[in-house]
Amino acid sequence: MDSISRPEFAAIFDRVSTTVDLRGATSAARIGNYLKIVRQYSKDKAKESKWSWERKRHGYAAEEYDKLIEHDFAGRTIYEANRNPRGIIALTLKYGKREAEARMKAQARAKVRSGM
């Protein structure tokens, strides 16, 4: 994860945070545990599904979570959150995705209002 740019990481984080609830994850170990839980859920769904397309979809998702765990997604997430404490990544870890987006919109509105 160290070799990719910030915008690419932000896009990956945005996709992951839609499926993994990262609220309250303030350490790399906790983010890693959340990823492992979701990976295991995907593996279980792939095993128990009766349609081949569903097995493939969940199996592919489990492989992608494996890649994130292997390439230290959790460490990069904590690094980016510490680098920008008022950014979307830090707010998502603190409050969850919906609340973080609402707070970012409120910050943008306040910034516009203060300029007028």
Tokens of 14: 């945005």
Has residue 42 been placed in a domain?
A: yes
Dmax over CA atoms of the chain, in Å, equals: 59
Does residue 27 surpass a pLDDT of 90?
A: yes
| Rounded Cα–Cα distance for residues 113 and 116 (Å) | 5
Selected residue with higher pLDDT from 49 and 37: 37
Mean pLDDT for the stretch of residues 63-76: 95
Has residue 1 been placed in a domain?
A: no
Mean pLDDT for the stretch of residues 4-8: 93
Total domains present in the chain: 1
- The band of 1, judged by pLDDT with boundaries at 50, 70 and 90, is confident
| Rounded Cα–Cα distance for residues 11 and 79 (Å) | 16
CA 39 to chain centre: 13
Range of the domain at 15: 6-115
Asked whether the whole model's pTM tops 0.85, one would answer yes
Does residue 2 surpass a pLDDT of 80?
A: no
Does residue 72 surpass a pLDDT of 70?
A: yes
